[in-house]
Amino acid sequence: MKKDFSVVIAGGGSTFTPGIVMMMLENSDRFPMRELKLYDNDGDRQGILGEALEILLKEQAPDLKFSYTTDPEEAFSDVDFVMAHIRVGKYEMREQDEKIPLKYGVVGQETCGPGGIAYGMRSITGMLEIIDYMEKYSPDAWMLNYSNPAAIVAEATRVLRPDSKVLNICDMPVGTLRRMSQIVGTTPDKLEVSYFGLNHFGWWTSVKDKATGYEYIDEIKEYVAENGYLTQVEVDTQHMDESWQATHKKAKDLLAIEPNYLPNTYLKYYFYPDYEVASSNPEFTRANEVMAGREKQVFTAARNIIEKGTAVDGGFHIDSHASFIVDLARAIAFNAKERMLLIVENNGAIANFDDDAMVEVPCIVGSDGPEPLAQGKIPAFNRALMLQQVTAEKLVVEAYIEGSYQKLWQALSLSKIVPSAEVAKQLLDDLIEANKGYWPELK
């Protein structure tokens, strides 16, 4: 077993890249690297972050070999892990994903409903491309994918690259678990959860103390029924955007409709779409918030580091929250048998759900990949919701493969967020226009 690893981050120009690189440095004792590369198809954007990170790494990790490139062969050769956070179409297209649905009074969100479907149709091509580069240049490597929209991307890889070594993971349950740990006064690493659902569409059935087996779920429910998942610690320390505060608060209404389990916060878009649309500003959506906030902050910090020639007090912030990526890489590299929530083919993990559905469940992860843990049978209410959602996701992938207008119209009509087939058709025609050059041609 190798003692140190070569990693490429695909989507090197992402606003998340500096925080993730710093997180990996912080975890270098657990996951030592000999080489780190950034890859992006937008060289100009990546170049700004690459140049700043080069300065930072010379100061903080002088022995680590570092490079950034737009050349796939250079990027993907001799790597052990590909960490993927790509955004096809960048924030400009995210803005379209959010604003086009809002024109029709429909939720505009990057991973849910029409916005998620549009983003999914764009992302499949980009994901397949980097999987193929990995398999061509480093056939033994694993890809850890945390790109959105994870559900559609995972289904596309299941169908189109069934034998690829790709693990799909989402950071949302990680963030929610952190808040749960604050609610009961412990830390996330001391908790063990059971969960069932699809990506951005599921429920926690158990939150236990790892050492003692003590079940915290009723205590957490009591808190969530009053406050949602919002904790004062997070408000004080995370400089959380108002829109995220509202999201975590809304969990109390999600618990009200399904009081048996703790909800994934993204369910608010499906259960309370009217509330979401009413509290959205069609002129200034989350994409605008990110462009004016995080994107500006990260690229300003990068330019300052380049200008000063040092990263000391440079303004890049470590993304400790992303340490789940290192946990996953370690589990593979060291056969660590780590228990984590992953998006995997069901194959009986949820007993009364389709075997070929990509579900999100706890898995034991070792060097052969994930082994899903059985979650038993699920109630009719949750099952029906999941079936509607997973069928829409499958239709999106079929529409992509077949170039089928009909199937994409059906996918949009089936989405719980879209009120009618008529609205679905109008939305589809607008989205086709906006995504020219990104989507396959639909007939």
Same domain for 361 and 297: yes
In a domain, 416, yes or no: no
Q: What is the tens place of the pLDDT at every residue in 87-105?
A: 999 999 999 999 999 999 9
Same domain for 134 and 70: yes
Q: Which of 341, 372, 403 is the last residue of a domain?
A: 372
d(CA 350, CA 334): 28
Give the contacts of 352 (CB within 8 A, at least 6 positions apart).
377, 378, 383
* pLDDT score of 3 more than 90: no
Phi and psi of 338, rounded to 5°? -80, 140
Same domain for 110 and 17: yes
Q: What is the structure's pLDDT at 320?
A: 82
Residue 148, marked binder:
yes
8 Ramachandran zone, left/alpha/beta (phi>0; psi -120 to 50): beta
* pLDDT score of 107 more than 60: yes
Q: Which of 254, 279, 304 is the last residue of a domain?
A: 279
Report which of 311, 321, 319, 371 is spatially closest to residue 342, judged by C-alpha positions.
371
Report which of 218, 202, 232 is spatially closest to residue 342, judged by C-alpha positions.
202
Q: What is the tens place of the pLDDT at every residue in 48-77?
A: 999 999 999 999 999 999 999 999 999 999
* pLDDT score of 194 more than 90: yes
In a domain, 384, yes or no: no
Q: What is the structure's pLDDT at 435?
A: 98
Percent of the chain with pLDDT over 90: 94
CATH of the domain at 118: 3.40.50.720
Same domain for 105 and 9: yes
Same domain for 354 and 261: no
How far is C-alpha 21 from the chain's CA centre?
A: 17
Residues forming a β-bridge with 144: 83, 167
d(CA 372, CA 389): 21
Same domain for 229 and 213: yes
Query: Is 363 in a helix, a strand, or coil?
Result: strand
Q: What is the structure's pLDDT at 430?
A: 98
Same domain for 102 and 36: yes
Q: What is the structure's pLDDT at 239?
A: 63
Do 169 and 146 meet the contact criterion of CB atoms below 8 Å apart?
yes
CATH of the domain at 196: 3.90.110.10
- Find the domain containing 309 and state its range: 5-169+288-372
Same domain for 181 and 160: no
Residue 200, marked binder:
yes
Q: What is the structure's pLDDT at 405?
A: 98
Same domain for 318 and 200: no
Mean per-residue pLDDT over the chain, rounded: 96
Report which of 109, 45, 162, 153 is spatially closest to residue 277, judged by C-alpha positions.
109
**Residues forming the active site:** 171, 266
| Alpha helices, H only, 138-210 | 150-160, 172-183
In a domain, 409, yes or no: no
In a domain, 318, yes or no: yes
Amino acid at 163: D
In a domain, 411, yes or no: no
d(CA 176, CA 188): 10
* pLDDT score of 237 more than 90: no
Same domain for 93 and 54: yes
pTM for the whole structure: 0.96
Q: Are strands 191-198 and 142-145 parallel, antiparallel or unpaired?
A: unpaired
In a domain, 385, yes or no: no
Same domain for 127 and 91: yes
| Alpha helices, H only, 311-404 | 323-333, 380-402
Do 173 and 205 meet the contact criterion of CB atoms below 8 Å apart?
no
Q: Which of 252, 279, 306 is the last residue of a domain?
A: 279
In a domain, 103, yes or no: yes
Task: Give the confidence band of 242 by pLDDT, cuts at 50, 70, 90.
Answer: confident
Sign of CA dihedral 398, 273, 341, 84: positive
| Alpha helices, H only, 228-349 | 232-237, 242-257, 268-271, 273-278, 286-290, 296-308, 323-333
Average pLDDT over residues 207-224: 98
Residue 94, marked binder:
yes
Question: If you search the block for the tokens 């089928």, which residue do you land on?
Answer: 404
**For residues 280, 281, 287 and 288, what is the CA-based torsion angle, rounded to 10 degrees?**
-150
Q: What is the tens place of the pLDDT at every residue in 413-424?
A: 999 999 999 999
Same domain for 67 and 192: no
In a domain, 246, yes or no: yes
Residue 170, marked binder:
yes
Length of the chain: 443
Q: What is the structure's pLDDT at 1?
A: 53
Q: What is the tens place of the pLDDT at every residue in 129-147?
A: 999 999 999 999 999 999 9
Domain count, the chain: 2
237 Ramachandran zone, left/alpha/beta (phi>0; psi -120 to 50): alpha
Phi and psi of 43, rounded to 5°? -65, -35
d(CA 223, CA 219): 6
Q: What is the tens place of the pLDDT at every residue in 253-286?
A: 999 999 999 999 999 999 999 999 999 999 999 9
Q: Are strands 142-145 and 33-39 parallel, antiparallel or unpaired?
A: unpaired
